[in-house]
Structure 1
Amino acid sequence: MLDKTIQLDFGSVRIKENILIAKLNEGILFDVENNQKLLVLGQEVFKDKNYGYISHRVNSYAVDPLVYFESAQVENLKAIAVVSDNEMTRRNAEEVERKFYKDSNCFGVFKTLEEAEQWIKTKI
């Protein structure tokens, strides 16, 4: 079973089985350039296998919604989840970010990492 963590200039990414779990740095703007680095990492690690992505939002940062259009083009990225214990962060992801992803049924918002991991497993 694969389980390792990689440090990037904008945060850390844990690779766990068939899921990328990102904890991004406080105060960054997660933009298309940063997203491209995650997508390349996903392609390198998973090749043509299906996988999911979890944004574990322990820090506060901004997300450029255009990242979802780019992510939607990746055939084997089957689901995106946002995890936060902050109600405002979850609500923003649910009401705003979800609208930018190709399939709202493959975009989930959760309070715990465990819930998100279980949900992603049902999508891939």
Structure 2
Amino acid sequence: MIKKNLELDFGSIFIHENVLIAELKEGILFSVENNRKLLELGRDIFEGRPYGYVSYRTNSYAVDPLVYMESSRAANLIAIAVVSNNELVKLNARQVEQKFYKNPGAFEVFDTLEEALVWMKPKF
């Protein structure tokens, strides 16, 4: 159940229990500045409590690789899930993005949003 929806210039953000879900706009470059807005939003909404992030990749867009390094250092961001039905996107997430997260149980790739939310639930 979605508790809060936010529209930002780079995409839609949904807050679901202890999870921030981002569905970014088609064709954007997701920059470090955009990521800082998301991390700040997570810090403010969850008030320093642990939370998870779901990158709900329904659209095609580019990501500045520095985003992954910055996200991996966020204190209260404890789990990240990528959701996509595109095999290339999932392969890239597993081979590139996952390497930035030191805890092997903190990053996973899924076919559906429901699967990602079920995976996140026991982490809180």
- Which whole-Å deviations, capped at 9, do the CAs of 1:40-90 have from their partners, x for residues lacking one? 100110012110000000000111221121112222110010000111111
Q: 2:54 touches 2:116 (CA, 8 Å); kept in 1?
A: yes
Q: Percent identity?
A: 60
- Which whole-Å deviations, capped at 9, do the CAs of 1:7-33 have from their partners, x for residues lacking one? 000001001111000000001111211
1:45 aligns to what? 45
For 2:30 and 2:94, the matched residues in 1 are separated by 17
Q: Which runs of 5+ in 2 are unaligned?
A: none
Q: 1:23 touches 1:56 (CA, 8 Å); kept in 2?
A: yes
1:28 aligns to what? 28
TM-score (norm 2): 0.93
> For 2:15, what is the secondary structure of its paired residue?
strand
Output the aligned Cα RMSD: 1.4
For 1:78 and 1:120, the matched residues in 2 are separated by 10
- Residues 1:12 and 2:12 are matched in the alignment: yes
For 1:103 and 1:30, the matched residues in 2 are separated by 24
> For 1:89, what is the secondary structure of its paired residue?
helix
1:108 aligns to what? 108
For 2:113 and 2:31, the matched residues in 1 are separated by 23
Cα gap change, 1:101/1:65 in structure 2, threshold over 3 Å: closer, same or farther? farther
TM-score (norm 1): 0.93
Q: 1:6 touches 1:13 (CA, 8 Å); kept in 2?
A: yes
1:68-83 correspondence runs (5 A)? 68-83=68-83
Q: Which runs of 5+ in 1 are unaligned?
A: none
Equivalent AA in structure 2 for residue 116 of structure 1: A
Deviation at 1:112, TM superposition (A): 0.5
Q: 1:15 touches 1:21 (CA, 8 Å); kept in 2?
A: yes
2:122 aligns to what? 122
